[in-house]
Amino acid sequence: MKILIAIDGSGHSHAALDRFAHRLDWFRGTPQVTLVYVHPALPYKRAVAWAGKEAVNAYYEEEGDEALAAARGLLDGRGVAYDVEKRVGEPAHEIVAFAASGGFDLIVMGTRGHTVLESLVLGSVATKVLATCTVPVLLMK
The string of pLDDT tens digits covering residues 10-57 is: 888 999 999 999 999 888 888 999 999 999 988 877 777 778 888 889
127 has pLDDT over 90: no
| R_g of the chain, CA atoms, integer Å | 16
Per-residue model confidence (pLDDT) at position 121: 45
93 pLDDT more than 60: yes
pTM to 2 decimals?
0.89
Answer whether residue 7 shows pLDDT above 80.
yes
pLDDT of residue 115: 56
Q: Among 60, 69, 70, which Cα is nearest to 39's?
A: 60
- E strands in 7-141: 32-39, 82-88, 106-110, 137-140
